[in-house]
Amino acid sequence: MLKFIILIFTGLMLCLFFDIETRSEIRTLHHLIHTSDTTLRKKGFRCFMTGGQWHSTIKEIARGYSINQYCFKTVEDARRFFVPLADEYIRPFNEEPSIRPYLANYPLNSRNFYLIIKFVDMDGNELLNPWIGSIHAGHGKITYYMSAPDKSYTELLYSEPFEEAQKIVYGLDQTTHTRQSP
């Protein structure tokens, strides 16, 4: 009996030591995050932040990426870049049927995921004014930030509801959610 207890205890300690997740939904979540990371890495993005809330259910997924291949001076240009990227990022989570029962809010949307894209130069420094330095999506909003030329502060440039940004980018009619004719 003592050997059995030691064996169980050792197995549990190894799971903790190697950070082996025993819940299948969390393993699936980690797989989806890894898949999204791989997709974005192929496009030049680098992950600098990870987090979320997934104790009893998956309440929020949070990721942050930096990239040095894009720079935007206007909210309009940044929006056209960011909205499709955010939609592409959350799509795999909503398409995976095995994780749906564990999402506190299904489908995963702008209210329960947090995504940051930081625009950096070739040395990894955040772009400064006149360039948009970062875009944050979370709690149903997209927020655009610009850093002062002397890096002394970050200025909130513009904030908008995520759904409104989608309507602008995709040209959706606000009442019927169908494409407007040009």
**How much is the pTM?**
0.77
CA distances from 72 to 82, 101, 151, 163 (A): 11, 39, 18, 21
User: What single-letter DSSP state applies at residue 181?
Assistant: P
Domain extents in the chain: 22-170
Task: Give the pLDDT mean for 22-43.
Answer: 83
Strands (DSSP E) contained in 12-109 are 46-53, 60-67
What mean pLDDT is reported for the chain?
A: 82
Q: pLDDT per residue over 126-155, tens digit each?
A: 898 899 999 999 999 999 999 888 877 889
- pLDDT tens across 110-124, in order? 888 889 999 999 998
Tokens of 47: 């992950």
Question: Does residue 95 sit in helix, strand or coil?
Answer: helix
Question: Which of 13-22, 42-51, 75-84 reaches the highest mean pLDDT?
Answer: 75-84
Answer whether residue 104 shows pLDDT above 90: no
